[in-house]
């Protein structure tokens, strides 16, 4: 099988994106291993799971679909900026879905983000879809 870019190095990292410490650690590992980062694509996520909180105490879908990504970019931003300065550009591609339309009408319920948000409501009855939509809206 022919490779289009045989000299491009691809590395896979294991990370529990719902855990801020795991995300921070992976960001630190990347910074220690490379001196250039041209692109970061964010797509990890969960959808419509039962009400829960992450180990850090945030609603689990928000922790996984938004906060973990934000922490990763926060850690990688100095490397992205130095890459852009030296090579002309670096990119963060943040993928989401139309599920943001399931968010509560008022948007992200910041006051209850440190709870499971069992009673969160939105356009579709049932908190798991509203929680998912809010995490996508934040994304």
From 7, 9, 128, 136, active-site residue: 136
pLDDT at 2: 60
Distance of CA 115 to the CA centre of its chain: 19
Q: Is 58 a catalytic residue?
A: no
Cα 115 from Cα 60, distance rounded (Å): 9
pLDDT in tens, 37-65: 999 999 878 998 999 999 999 999 999 99
pLDDT in tens, 96-120: 889 888 888 889 999 999 999 988 8
**Please, are residues 73 and 42 in contact by the beta-carbon 8 Å criterion?**
yes
**Comparing 83 with 8, which gets the higher pLDDT?**
83
Cα 125 from Cα 72, distance rounded (Å): 32
pLDDT at 119: 83
DSSP structural state of residue 101: G
pLDDT at 125: 59
From 13, 87, 128, 129, active-site residue: 129
Q: Is 136 a catalytic residue?
A: yes
What domains, with CATH codes, occur in the chain? 20-138 (3.40.50.720)
b/e per residue, 22-55, with b = 16+ CB within 10 A?
Answer: bbbebbeebeeeeeebeebebebbebbeebebbe
The mean pLDDT value of the chain amounts to 91
């Amino acid at each position: 099988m022919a490779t289009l870019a045989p000299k491009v190095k691809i590395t896979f990292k294991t990370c529990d994106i719902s855990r801020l410490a795991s995300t921070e650690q992976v960001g630190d590992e990347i910074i220690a291993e490379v001196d250039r980062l041209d692109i970061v694509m964010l797509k990890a996520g969960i959808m419509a799971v039962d009400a829960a909180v992450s180990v850090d105490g945030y609603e689990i879908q928000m922790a996984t679909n938004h906060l973990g990504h934000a922490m990763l970019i926060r850690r990688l931003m100095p490397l992205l900026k130095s890459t852009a300065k030296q090579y002309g550009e670096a990119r963060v591609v943040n993928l989401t879905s139309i599920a943001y339309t399931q968010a509560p009408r008022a948007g992200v319920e910041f006051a209850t983000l440190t709870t499971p948000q069992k009673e969160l409501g939105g356009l579709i009855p049932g908190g798991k879809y509203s929680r998912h939509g809010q995490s996508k809206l934040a994304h």
